């Protein structure tokens, strides 16, 4: 997928960089069974109180049920369509299995209609779109849709253009370098999909106007330094005061405050933190 620079016919299009959707093959979802309604909370909890700010409005969406587990083993599937999903940045692919079942998966980059993919517990060809346990992949393979617990479904590298690399493996664990620069060990029995996620130019898009964010369900944000002292710890002052140390409206330090537990159990699996040098 590429992006296009619009002509500045309006103020909103002057600085907008929009996606082209060349890779999308259909305008509407083909299988209604894989769609379901998606409620919007507007940031309110069950009592109706706002617990998450700056949410609300936005276009109505339907959720696409995605197969993150890839648990139809040794049955080839043919790609039917590449579709747009309003709930995620990557494209999704509708695949039809040889037994007639159809499912949505996160589309790998350069996957096209007519391609055949497969998921297997044994070693198979590391072609883009194929899913297998990481212990069966050769070191150096680029992967996405990575499980962290066997059978739970993919949790890592699901957004547009993300990719991890399997750098080493032992009898039980494999070592994976994640997009953040973190290097961690994951059980070799966890599944992953070969290749990079689709829509790699997603980060090149620019919104262009505030109204486009409202379509996404994002409401305006007011800076703390623009408020009064009663409303925010950083408010008040004569003129354009700096506001002091960055804080939330409830006084918690932000922009650098470490919130991760110092003795978190999963620390033992992190070989190199993303906070350290990424060399």
The string of pLDDT tens digits covering residues 193-214 is 999 999 999 999 999 999 999 9
Work out the pLDDT band at 2, boundaries 50, 70, 90.
confident
Whether residue 198 is contained in a domain is answered as: yes
At 237-248, the pLDDT tens digits run 888 887 889 999
Whether residue 29 is contained in a domain is answered as: yes
**Would the pLDDT of 178 be above 50?**
yes
**Would the pLDDT of 279 be above 50?**
no
CB 55 within 8 A of CB 39: no
Residue 21 pLDDT? 92
Tally of domains within the chain: 1
Residue 79 pLDDT? 97
How confident is the model over 9-23, as a mean pLDDT?
Answer: 92
User: What is the pTM for the complete model shown?
Assistant: 0.90
Whether residue 235 is contained in a domain is answered as: no
At 31-58, the pLDDT tens digits run 999 999 999 999 999 999 999 999 999 9
Work out the pLDDT band at 277, boundaries 50, 70, 90.
low
Q: What are the two backbone dihedrals, phi and then psi, of residue 187, each rounded to the nearest 5 degrees?
A: -55, 135
Residue 239 pLDDT? 86
What is the biggest distance separating any 2 CA atoms in the chain, rounded to whole angstroms? 71
Counting Cβ atoms within 10 Å, is residue 273 exposed (0-12), middle (13-18) or buried (19+)?
middle
Whether residue 112 is contained in a domain is answered as: yes
CB atoms within 10 A of CB 173: 19
Q: What is the CATH number of the domain that holds 194?
A: 2.30.30.30
d(CA 39, CA 62): 9
CB atoms within 10 A of CB 242: 8
At 156-167, the pLDDT tens digits run 999 999 999 999
At 78-103, the pLDDT tens digits run 999 999 999 999 999 999 999 999 99
Whether residue 84 is contained in a domain is answered as: yes
94: containing domain: 19-38+57-203
Residue 240 pLDDT? 84
Residue 275 pLDDT? 83
Whether residue 87 is contained in a domain is answered as: yes
Whether residue 145 is contained in a domain is answered as: yes
Whether residue 46 is contained in a domain is answered as: no
């Amino acid at each position: 997928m590429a992006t296009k620079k619009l002509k500045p016919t309006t103020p909103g299009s002057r600085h907008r960089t929009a996606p082209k959707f060349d890779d999308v093959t259909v305008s509407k979802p083909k299988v209604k069974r894989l769609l379901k309604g998606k409620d919007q909370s507007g940031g309110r909890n069950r009592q109706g109180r706002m617990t998450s700010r700056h949410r609300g409005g936005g276009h109505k969406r339907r959720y696409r049920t995605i197969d993150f587990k890839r648990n139809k083993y040794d049955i080839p599937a043919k790609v039917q369509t590449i579709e747009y999903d309003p709930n995620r940045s990557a494209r999704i692919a509708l695949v039809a299995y040889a037994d007639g079942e159809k499912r949505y998966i996160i589309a790998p980059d350069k996957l096209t209609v007519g391609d055949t993919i497969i998921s297997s517990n044994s070693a198979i060809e590391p072609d883009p779109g194929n899913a297998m346990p990481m212990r069966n992949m050769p070191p150096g393979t680029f992967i996405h849709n990575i499980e962290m617990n066997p059978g739970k479904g993919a949790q890592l590298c699901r957004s547009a253009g993300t990719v991890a690399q399997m750098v080493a493996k032992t009898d039980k664990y494999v070592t994976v370098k994640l997009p953040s620069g973190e290097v961690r060990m994951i059980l070799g029995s966890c599944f992953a999909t070969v290749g990079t996620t689709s829509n790699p130019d997603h980060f090149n898009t620019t919104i262009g106007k505030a109204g486009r964010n409202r379509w996404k369900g994002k409401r305006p944000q007011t800076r703390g330094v623009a408020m009064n002292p009663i409303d925010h710890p950083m408010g008040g002052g004569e003129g354009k005061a700096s506001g002091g140390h960055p804080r939330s409206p409830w006084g918690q330090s932000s922009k650098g405050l470490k919130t991760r537990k110092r003795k978190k159990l999963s620390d033992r699996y992190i070989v190199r933190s993303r906070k350290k040098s990424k060399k």
